[in-house]
Amino acid sequence: MTTLDKIKRQIAENPILLYMKGSPKLPSCGFSAQAVQVLSQCGVPFAYVDILQNPDIRAELPKFANWPTFPQLWVEGELIGGCDIMLEMFQTGELQTLIKETAEKHKS
CA 1, distance to chain mean position in Å, is 22
Instruction: Confirm or deny that 107 is annotated as ligand binding.
Output: no
Instruction: Confirm or deny that 56 is annotated as ligand binding.
Output: no
**CA distances to 11, 61, 106 from 5, in Å:** 10, 11, 22
Instruction: Confirm or deny that 5 is annotated as ligand binding.
Output: no
AA identity, residue 47: A
Instruction: Confirm or deny that 46 is annotated as ligand binding.
Output: no
CB atoms within 10 A of CB 5: 9
Instruction: Confirm or deny that 21 is annotated as ligand binding.
Output: yes
Bridge-based pairing of strands 47-50 and 16-20 is parallel
Instruction: Confirm or deny that 90 is annotated as ligand binding.
Output: no
Distance CA 105, CA 45 (A): 13
Distance CA 17, CA 45 (A): 10
Known binding-site residues for [2Fe-2S] cluster equal: 29
Indicate the annotated binding residues: 21, 29, 58, 70, 83-84
Q: Binding site membership for glutathione: which residues?
A: 21, 58, 70, 83-84
